[in-house]
Amino acid sequence: MFATYLIGLREGLEATLVVSILVAFLVKSQRRDRLPQVWAGVGLAVALSVFFGWLIEYTSTSLLARSEDRELFEAITSVAAVVFVTWMIFWMRKAARTIAGELRGKLTEALAVGSLAVAGMSFLAVIREGLETALIFYSAAQSAAGGAGRGPLLALIGGIATSVVLGFLLYKSALKINLSKFFTWTGALLILVAAGIFKYGVHDFQEAGVLPGLNNQAFDISSVLDPSTWYAALLGGMFNITATPTVLEMIAWVAYAVPVLVLFLRKPATPAKPAAAKPATEAAPAAEPTAAQAAADSSTPATDAPASAPQRA
């Protein structure tokens, strides 16, 4: 359940920061009359995301009668979830400096068009996070417990609720969090979660008969990692670490986790220093603030941005 809580916390905080930027911009611009359209777009995005999650679960449990078809469907959704979560963590790290400016620019254009454009813009800003959350949650719940039951769902809701509270406190400048470290640590954990999902997807491909080696076990550590113990349940639920994996499962886990973790944790290259300093009048414009800084700086009640807001997520 911790895996789905982490998914809800990470994705929820990203969505909350996006909404905070939009709301703060409207408040500072004296356009509070457009706030209902923003919340309407956000509400529609949330509703569609919930429907998408229900549709995935319904397709798996009700529309696919044969077990082979169900295994193949779960395998495909697992691979898709891994692709989305990998893209998401690298995109967030790269786009953190410019996302605030891009959102403000798009919202300015939407304000010039009308109410429907404002609602549509806020909808598009949130729906990506919602659809990603639904897909990743389904795959993580399947790999951890063999189904998206009540426990993983409650953990996901708890993670989202926590992210909303954190986002609100950041907006009000009542809380200071080093978001750079937060997104780095949660990103690394999500990579391990994604590796477990990928391993589970490979196992489903083997059960569906698409990949060979279902009975070719890499090792058996059942005597050490007893499935009935709490730590075995934690490792299995969080990272899909099992006592009797197949050779192909372990190859998939290592082949994904090791290079992706190295690329994610590697520090970006330091840009080369210019040969000669430019005159002050030709100095480059200041870097775009991060999402957290923009959410704090753009709002009247939040004039003091958190000192520890990141320069890179």
Residue 207 lies in a domain: yes
pLDDT mean over 8-24: 87
- Where in the sequence is the domain holding 92, given as residue range(s)? 2-268+293-298
Residue 287 lies in a domain: no
pLDDT tens for each residue of 215-265: 898 988 888 887 777 777 777 767 778 888 999 999 999 999 999 999 998
Most confident of 97-101, 164-168, 220-224: 164-168
Provide the pLDDT confidence category of residue 293 given band limits of 50, 70 and 90.
low
DSSP-assigned letter for residue 290: P
pLDDT at 109 > cutoff 90: no
pLDDT at 34 > cutoff 80: yes
pLDDT at 90 > cutoff 50: yes
Residue 82 has what pLDDT? 92
Sign of CA dihedral 104, 106, 112, 116: negative
Residue 21 lies in a domain: yes
Cβ-based burial of 243 (10 A; exposed 0-12, middle 13-18, buried ≥19): middle
Provide the pLDDT confidence category of residue 125 given band limits of 50, 70 and 90.
confident
* pTM exceeding the 0.85 threshold for the entire prediction: no
Residue 276 lies in a domain: no
C-alpha angle 203-208-213 in degrees, rounded to nearest 5: 55
When the pLDDT of each residue in the chain is averaged and rounded to a whole number, the result is: 79
pLDDT mean over 177-198: 85
Residue 13 lies in a domain: yes
3-state secondary structure 6-48: HHHHHHHHHHHHHHHHHHHHHHHCCCHHHHHHHHHHHHHHHHH
Across 20-36, b (16+ Cβ under 10 Å) vs e yields: bbbbbbbbeeeeeebee
Number of independent structural domains in the chain: 1
pLDDT at 154 > cutoff 80: yes
Residue 313 has what pLDDT? 36
Residue 174 has what pLDDT? 60
Token reading at 296? 């704090």
pLDDT at 282 > cutoff 50: no
Residue 128 lies in a domain: yes
* Residue that wins the pLDDT comparison between 235 and 195: 195
The least confident of 6-15, 91-100, 162-171, 179-188 is 91-100
What lies within 8 Å, CB to CB, of 35 at 6+ separation is 23, 26
Provide the pLDDT confidence category of residue 295 given band limits of 50, 70 and 90.
low
Residue 65 lies in a domain: yes
Residue 2 has what pLDDT? 72
